[in-house]
Chain A
Amino acid sequence: MKYQSQRIALVYFAVAMGLFAIQVLGGLLAGWIYVAPNTLSELLPFNIVRMLHTNSLIVWLITGFFGAAYFLIPEEAEREIYSEKIAYLQLAILVIGTLGVVVTYVFNLFEGHWLLGKEGREFIEQPKWVKAGIVVAALLFLYNVTMTVLQGKKTAITNILLLGLWGLALLFLFSFYNPENLALDKMFWWYIVHLWVEGVWELIMASILAYLMLKLTGVDREVVEKWLYVIVAAALFSGILGTGHHYYWIGTPGYWQWIGSIFSSLEVIPFFAMMAFAFVMVWKGRRDHPNKAALLWSLGCATLAFFGAGVWGFLHTLHGVNYYTHGTQITAAHGHLAFFGAYVALNLAIFSYAMPILRNRDPYNQVLNMASFWMMTGGMAFMTFVLTFAGTIQTHLQRVLGDYYMDVQDQLAVFYWMRFGSGVFVVLGALVFIYAMWVPRKEVISHDATQAAE
């Protein structure tokens, strides 16, 4: 660790990994409810389990991004973080807010209260006081990192990262706007989650990936930066108007069908470019970096993001196709692989790279870490295929033949069982990963490049 304040990242990573464990366990429970629908139906209904699964995902990914920023900005800016205290205060606010959401939601406290009660809007159901807390925490964070960068060296990586993080925080402000009209509500609702994952998060992803490539492959910064700018341009060009692919059937004018179809089709390009970038850098790189696990996660991230977000996204983005597939298991298949590839794997890549440095050790538990990569990736890929088949059958039975929703669900039972099985594998992989990160033992991979790994 070159800069003392980088250690802030360790606490953020710890919180992120804790939430990661909760998220996958929640997912496993939700997957079980699919095959045994009465499980906990009174105590913890499916909608709440699903909320916990998706929201803990978003929260831990963002916590990981914050941690990544605190880790890499000192190295890029070549100075300590402006204030460590602010960083810890920010995390405390986020943790209290997260607990507040969970408690409020699970016990449905203060129902209907404007400040303390849940809002009931999917993904942004947080009570107003939590939303305000999130904004305060975001402002603290932006102030802290922006001051650091302004006083230090400015690089393309930190510029793009800050642009992405500022965008993330500003777009969240739309969660305070709740129009009466349901179509307008949904229209602005997508300004948050779509413009996050298919807009500014891609900037965060590209900049963290660029940082990892710079460190792991030793390619010239100039080359990395050129790729970074092209990727960011392609991401924003396609992603902003690509929001239109959520406006097909919510009551917005018909021209959105064409705007959404055309622009969101182009969203494949930045993901393809990120994959090409990662592989070209590794081929061109001369450095044989000892942290093989971080490299595996980086390449895996770019590849799985291309397939999950790019290919599986394109699969149902054209409005003629989406007319049939909308809201079926096809969507679930895409959502799972896209989030895992683009953002989960990205976080796990930066954790894998940063943790040994934060703990002042050589890379450790690499074989275990890489095993967890293949367990999670194998599990997620299997789940994606299973849900894609389930979604294809569901689309045909329900949307083409017109069978009843619940009759069709019965037909899909076998797929839901297989999905549960793959989920078990993913959870085990996640636990192995967390173990590999936090319980270092002896070195398994030799530093001597002439010796094969044990």
Chain B
Amino acid sequence: MSDASLIDELPGELLMWVLIVSELLVFGAGLIAFMGVRLTDPAGFAEAQAHLYRTGAALNTAVLVTSGFLAAQALHWRRAARRGAARLALIGAAALGVLFLVIKGAEYAGKAAQGISYETHPFFMFYYLLTGFHAAHVAAGAGILLLVAWRDDPRNIEAGAQFWHMVDLVWIMLFPVIYLLG
């Protein structure tokens, strides 16, 4: 059957693609809901958004994209039989994931210091829901990267990198919509 052969042509694990599509559906639906609720209160959303620390988020974007580059390089090097370099790249990618979480944690701490919680305004409910859910994926992803650095079969590294690029991609959708969109 034609669709079976299409599935066979997919690089990497089928189940990882199922997970990636599911995650994109969830974050996509979350962003659509955010935009929908924003329509009901543009002024309140703009006011709330002004409390966000954009520079930190921009920095985090750079951190995460660099980390994604390292994960991709790791697969490339592993396939070229450079196991040591691949492992170092994966550990570096995971470390940058941790750096992302540190910057994110500082951001949350700053919000908490200002007395802002998920109940302050619907904007912040979505902010915490979407960035918090994403941060949980960064934490899981960093763990996966370390796991595949240890068990460094190329197929494992490919699956880890696939997951990590999804985490990257989701952040690249969240950043402009939540932090920048005026």
Contact = CB atoms under 8 A, between A and B. Distances in A.
Contacts of A284: 1
A255 B26 contact: no
Interface in A229-264: 229-230, 233-234, 237-238, 253-255, 258-259, 261-263
B33 to A, nearest CB: 6
Contacts, number: 43
Given A253-B118, A254-B119, A284-B1, A263 B26 contact: yes
Contacts of B118: 253-255
Interface in B4-57: 4, 14-15, 18-19, 22, 25-26, 29-30, 33
Given A255-B118, A262-B33, A233 B15 contact: yes
B59 interface: no
A255 B25 contact: no
Interface centre among B4, B26, B30 (most CB of A within 10 A): B26
A233 B19 contact: yes
B129 interface: yes
A371 interface: no
Contact of B26 (A223, A234, A262): A262
Contact of A266 (B25, B33, B128): B25
B163 to A, nearest CB: 13
A223 B125 CA distance: 43
B22 A234 contact: yes
A255 B129 contact: yes
Q: Majority SS of interface residues in chain A? A: helix
A407 B118 CA distance: 40
A237 B22 contact: yes
A275 B18 CA distance: 17
Given A230-B18, A233-B18, A253-B118, A258 B26 contact: no
A361 interface: no
Nearest to B130: A258
Interface in A259-273: 259, 261-263, 265-266, 269
A262 B15 contact: no
A234 B17 CA distance: 11
B22 A238 contact: yes
A263 B29 CA distance: 9
A442 interface: no
Contacts of B1: 284
Across the A-B interface, give the 6 residue pairs with the lowest CB-CB distance, nearest first: A262-B29, A237-B22, A233-B18, A255-B129, A230-B18, A255-B125
